[in-house]
Structure 1
Amino acid sequence: MRLTSFTDYGLRALMRLASAPDRAFSTAEIADEFGVSRNHLNKIVQRLARHGIVATRRGAGGGAMLARPASEIVLGDVVRLLEQDQALVECFAPDGACCVTPVCRLKGRLRGAEAAFLAELDRSTLADIALPAPLLAAS
């Protein structure tokens, strides 16, 4: 399986937020730290905020922080949220069509693999993967 950069950057941002849960991070700060697009990261943070994972504040001292404890944020839920518009394969998409669908024996196996992947992530929370606090001092 391969996650989109949207999900990759979202997980990295959440790992950073979990490293200092009482601190607000600007998207510019996180984007610079990880070398990613600030505009792309803004979209990710907006989606996370709309779904109650991240809280945002505007103005001086503003930024993004976790909306609830990292131990309550299940990784599988985050990946489902960030990958919601991305089908693993074309035939999984709502409008996906494939000429072998009527006789395909691969689709079921791929669904099973995707379910197993997400089930594994459901066993972990953001607290399990938070970046160590000493990294903050180095950045």
Structure 2
Amino acid sequence: MTVFLHLLKAIIVEKVFCDLRLKKWLGYRVGCDIYNLHETKRFYFYVVSPDYKPKDLLMKIHVFIATIPDYLADVDHETFKHLRRGADLPDESCMSQELVHDNIHWHKYPTVVGLLLERIEKEEVINLYDHFFCQETFRY
């Protein structure tokens, strides 16, 4: 799951900034990130704005979240491969860089993380996104 979240962040971080900050002017600070809550990785979107009420911001963010699967589907294959290869898994991901970059092997087999980053397909990322983000019931 950690690999998926960091790959998702690498793919959409620019869209989050461009859409929510530059196009919609929702706030002066926008983005997405990953945090650890009770040993469980969470993905979140944030907007800091003095101009909108929290409820209005939340609704606008949820509308934006619903557009992500279409955006992911439109990412061309070469860009996806490039992002997949360069997914940044920082130290707080609790994964060693040797594991992430597949510099170690276990009984002559590549590590699972290296294989996942090498083989995950765009459609799988879209399905995971749909499952974890779009199936939620949003409360306002």
Normalized against structure 1, the TM-score is what?
A: 0.33
Normalized against structure 2, the TM-score is what?
A: 0.32
Q: Which has the higher strand share?
A: 2
The answer to which structure, 1 or 2, has the higher relative contact order (CA under 8 A, 6+ apart) is: 1
Look at both structures and tell me which one has the larger radius of gyration over its CA atoms.
1
